[in-house]
Amino acid sequence: MNQTVFTGSACAIITPFDSDGKVDYRKLKKQVEFQIENGTDAIVVCGTTGESSVLNTREHRQVIKSVVKYVEKRVPVIAGTGSNSTESAVRRSCSAESVGADALLIVTPYYNKCSQAGLIEHYDYISERTSLPVIVYNVPARTGVDIKPETYKELSKIRNVVATKEANGNISALMKTISLCKDELDIYCGNDDQTAAFMAMGAKGVISVLANIIPNRMHGLASLALGGKTAESVAKQTELLDLANVLFCDVNPIPVKYAMKVMELDSGVYRLPLNDTSEINKRHIRDALRKQKLIN
């Protein structure tokens, strides 16, 4: 059985930028403290929600190093180090390991893409060059690559590939992956709106965008599911469904950063090519926040 990195709800934390477009480490520290004070079980830094694709090499390393420092070993820190260049993913992974990350989140190659055999070689090559646990990230809507259940079976044989963040939305494929891999591969839900369903089938938790604004409630939902209280976790999921969906009314992390701004959670600005969302979307986001009594 592979090493479990965390159970429960991990926040895919945003990267705050100041008005000059620089990383705002003061705000980042506040976000980390907010997460830990409200029960988050792990923090994922430099993922999609953290706008990792617009961080240069120095910033990427410094953001991970800073989060590791702020967390002080209170929860696991999982660093997003994926790339469509295998060598670049290795460099980022080794850098994250050197500054104290506890695990790696490595997205499938995007744009140039690859075959299923190429995926196996990609992850095997990276895993041979780092000692950290690797969580594979499958998000075909962004990458154009979908990991097949049979490929997961082969990936689970790689020394430190221990889990996947699954965001393809395919419940049937997930069931087959679980059947093939059993306890050799942990599953984490990659879509907030499917958390209860994934965990009812045995997933260890969720890597959550929604946790940026309600970490305590996402932790609670996951705890119910882990405790075998499926009906209660589904009820919590249903309560949060509209909010989870509205946070994807535009490209992630645009909606969640706007929601955080409205909630006065110091989210900072975006970096191009991301920009502000429409007034209609802003209204929908505010309405959903009011419904959850998160703003007046």
**How confident is the model over 64-113, as pLDDT tens digits?**
999 999 999 999 999 999 999 999 999 999 999 999 999 999 999 999 99
Does the pLDDT of residue 214 top 90, yes or no?
yes
Catalytic residue among 70, 123, 137, 188, which?
137
pLDDT at position 1 is 54
> Which domains does the chain show, CATH number per domain?
8-227 (3.20.20.70)
**How confident is the model over 170-200, as pLDDT tens digits?**
999 999 999 999 999 999 999 999 999 999 9
Classify residue 13 by its DSSP letter: -
Is 70 an active-site residue? no
DSSP 260-283: HHHTT----B--TT--PPPHHHHH
Q: Name the residue type at position 22.
A: K
Q: How confident is the model at residue 3 (pLDDT cuts 50, 70, 90)?
A: confident
Two tokens, residue 60: 């990427």
Catalytic residue among 27, 165, 204, 257, which?
165
pLDDT at position 265 is 92
Is 137 an active-site residue? yes
Cβ partners under 8 Å of residue 42, min gap 6: 5, 6, 8, 9, 10, 11, 75, 76, 77, 78, 205
**How confident is the model over 145-167, as pLDDT tens digits?**
999 999 999 999 999 999 999 99
The model's pTM:
0.95
Percent of the chain with pLDDT over 90: 96
Mean predicted lDDT score pLDDT of the chain = 96
Does the pLDDT of residue 202 top 90, yes or no?
yes
**How confident is the model over 4-44, as pLDDT tens digits?**
999 999 999 999 999 999 999 999 999 999 999 999 999 99
Q: How confident is the model at residue 267 (pLDDT cuts 50, 70, 90)?
A: confident
